[in-house]
Amino acid sequence: MGTDGVGIDKLTRADWIVGVGSVLLALDLLVLPWWSISLGFVSASDTGVGAPDSFLGVLAFLLAAGIAAHVILAKLTRVELPVLPITWPQARVAAASVAAGFVVLKFLLHLHPSYLSAGCWGGIVLSAVVLGGALRALGEPEGAPPDA
């Protein structure tokens, strides 16, 4: 599959970090509880796309999904992506930065830290991983061969 210019062997280490990290971030926002409260017999929890400040989680999810889609389309298909006024790696850094900003803002505006759950802490780490991978890819020339 790699002989025709597309395929999994075309992914660089930075592409793996960004692609897998953004998929995991999107899943974290959708599935894992970001906060949990127990008051006697009653308990409640919600995901990263839930209240409070659900719009921040939804926007971070859309950006993470878009970043993952870009990695898939750019590296694993022959789809010709549109020309941007900036390079695609720069666009990924911008998207990862904004997504990380939404995750951090959701964290800062959230309930008391003692109520935060694994999804919140995982989301912060994953958004940093995606941003780090995007920054690493920024240093690679476009069309660079995969890491050995």
Q: Where are the domains of the chain?
A: 9-138
pLDDT in tens, 52-82: 889 999 999 999 999 999 999 988 888 899 9
Token reading at 97: 């930065």
> Percentage of residues in the chain with pLDDT exceeding 70?
89
Better pLDDT: 114 or 136: 136
